[in-house]
Structure 1
Amino acid sequence: DDFDDVEEDEGLDDLENVEEEGQENVEILPSGERQAANQKRITTPYMTKYERARVLGTRALQIAMCAPVMVELEGETDPLLIAMKELK
């Protein structure tokens, strides 16, 4: 119908050259070089209440959807309580 007018081979030449171009843009670093791993941190080592709420909520949702639990359960069934126990 609407697609009958379009040639099927249109634009395939560009796709065939993608692999060749992709290999030219890759730069492999020697194992001795690291990228800025020893720079001083500019963030605090503490989690804000907003970050904590986000992490706990996300993990509680994962636990509620039957994700494996990373701590020993002592009768807890509430996903949020389990997430809090994991975070500690």
Structure 2
Amino acid sequence: MNALDEHDEEASEFVSAADAVDSGVNEERVTTHYLTKYERARVLGARALQISMNAPVMVELQGESDPLQIAMKELTEKLIPIIIRRYLPDGSFEDWSVNDLIQS
């Protein structure tokens, strides 16, 4: 793991789709196209909280009632409406849709 990957795990946040189109965006992506375990945990927790607060569910429910299980199903089916903003050391950032990232 290089220093850039370590920085990504520590300095990422969620942004809305409207905020993703902003001036500090890099045109070429330099960060990894893999969803890190730290980002995965934060995405699942944030999405489960949204679901528990009655946010619309993006998948068909088949007996699931646990928000975390529903969020995991959305992640597996690549239907989570969250964008991750990864900050780079030079102050710029990259916005990645969770659905564009490869899950290991």
Distance 2:58 2:34 in 1: 22
Q: 4+ residue stretches of structure 1 with deviation over 6 A?
A: none
2:41 maps to: 53
TM-score (norm 2): 0.47
Q: Which has the greater radius of gyration?
A: 1
Q: What is the CA-CA distance between 1:39 and the residue it aligns to? A: 3.8
> Would you tell me which structure has more strand in proportion to its own residues?
2
Q: What is the aligned-residue RMSD (CA, Å)? A: 1.9
Structure 2 residues not aligned, in runs of 5+: 1-22, 77-104
Which protein, 1 or 2, shows the higher relative CO under an 8 Å CA cutoff with sep ≥ 6?
A: 2
1:41 Cα offset (Å): 1.4
Q: Which residue of 1 aligns with 2:54?
A: 66
Determine the structure 2 residue equivalent to 1:78: 66
What is the 5 A alignment of 1:4-83? 39-83=27-71
Take 1:48 and 1:70, find their aligned partners in 2: how far apart are those partners? 22
Count of equivalent residues: 54
Q: What per-residue deviation string (whole Å, max 9, x for no partner) do you get for residues 30-80 of structure 1?
A: xxxxx8x88431011101000000000000001011111000001000100
| Structure-1 separation of matches of 2:60 and 2:45 | 20
For 1:76 and 1:87, how far apart are their aligned partners in 2? Answer: 15
